[in-house]
Amino acid sequence: QGRLPPPAVVCPTPHFRMMSKLQSQIPWLAAGAICGVAGATLARRLTRSPRNEGTRIVGTDFRGKPSTYIRSEGEGVVGLLAYDICEPLTKEEYNRWLFDVHYHDLMANPHLDKIVLRTVSRDKKARLSSGAAVTNDVEFYRLAELHFRDFASYDRYIAWFQANAIPPPRTPAGRSAFRFYLLSEAESILRTPAAAAAPAALARAVPSGHAAPREGPPVVLV
């Protein structure tokens, strides 16, 4: 009597062992969560600010509203070649030679990256922003863009054809009436991501066949 019972031997239950293990891993779990948040934040920053984004130009438009756009340098050199079709060739005859013969010959040159064609619309006429009609000093059928990596690539393109001449029956002689042939460098004026998303959001909000809402004076509800 008066003696304390012997200390009980406590056997850790599976639940107790699991809790102990989780407690020992809490610092590692916290570190992992912090790294995950930091990685997600960094990814968002990289998405918002790509390395070759260009220069942001901030100002106001003619309505007095704030405006921001991105001015960036384009890559490569583009040859701008405008031409008409020599008579008496028809468009069908010309395009048959162009796509079945000529472009096979041009693309054989390893220094030419690609060709982009822009055929002038005869039905839809361009107008100034004022709505006035445009009087052009130069008219042509089509504009061909010859894309090169740089000016050095263009020089190699010319040198390659001088060493590998196209046979006269396959050349543009008697088929293409050149209006001009110029070399150009590109520069882009782009919307900022927020400005680019605004028209798309408005298009989703306005049902098909309905006009977009116009701005007007504020409405006061009484």
Domain covering 74-122+138-185 assigned CATH 3.30.70.100 in the classification: yes
Mean pLDDT of all residues in 112-136 = 88
Whether the model clears a pTM of 0.75, i.e. scores above it, the answer is no
Identify the pLDDT of residue 189.
92
CA 86 to CA 180: how far, in whole Å? 15
On the question of pLDDT at 133 being above 80, the answer is yes
Identify the pLDDT of residue 11.
44
In angstroms, the Cα distances linking 15 to 12, 20, 22, 81 are 8, 9, 11, 79
Q: Residue 76 carries which side chain, given as an amino acid letter?
A: G
Domain ranges of the chain: 17-49, 74-122+138-185
Residues 160/110, Cβ–Cβ less than 8 Å: yes
pLDDT in tens, 29-74: 444 554 454 444 433 333 333 445 789 999 999 999 999 999 998 8
Name the β-bridge partners of 73.
187
CA 217 to CA 156: how far, in whole Å? 61
Residues 184/82, Cβ–Cβ less than 8 Å: no
